[in-house]
Structure 1
């Protein structure tokens, strides 16, 4: 008796299975997921390459120099959670002060500052 029950159960399971029909949009959804993972990994790698992880660290301090397309220089200064942007202008100033050091421009265009001792 139990043998016939098993046969009936097996037969009913086989009869209720539907044929496998592949949905063509399944592959598109997988491509979308893959592209999202690629974009996130690209953003993380750019942060690592340009050392921009320090922007997210509240205890870090750094200074970044940026040159605008019109030739103006901007200094981005971060101390702790405070970020300041200072622009270099061509205005001439007058006043009294002390000499802090000397700046030299190398052949490759870099500028080196040597403080006075």
Structure 2
């Protein structure tokens, strides 16, 4: 009886392993498509302009700007900028966490 279980025709069918590999690839492709759809920098079909800032306020800060199909990358030099200018308005932080800008 035990020899009969080892030689069942279902275990020797090579098509079953191919079907399993195809199923695995379909799951991987679906995961990659979801990742691309959720990340605005990777989505080539998005018409929106996107700005992504990483490590904000730190010397390793980077900023990536996507305008149309062009992506530009800016790195912080770690130095504090300075320049001349005039006060343009006032920003207020609200209780709900929002910020309101009031120009002068």
Structure 2 runs not aligned, ≥5 long: 1-8
Structure 1 vs Structure 2 CA RMSD: 3.4
- Kindly indicate whether structure 1 or structure 2 has the higher relative contact order, using CA contacts under 8 Å at least 6 residues apart: 2
How does 1:1-117 map onto structure 2 within 5 Å? 22=10, 23-52=12-41, 55-57=43-45, 59-67=47-55, 72-100=60-88, 115-117=101-103
**Is the contact between residue 63 and residue 76 of structure 1 (CA under 8 Å) also seen in structure 2?**
yes
Structure 1 runs not aligned, ≥5 long: 1-20
- TM-score w.r.t. the length of structure 1 is 0.55
**1:48 offset after TM fit, Å?**
2.8
**Structure in which a larger fraction of residues adopt helix:** 1
Equivalenced residues, count: 91
- Counterpart CA distance in 1 for 2:59 and 2:83 is 26
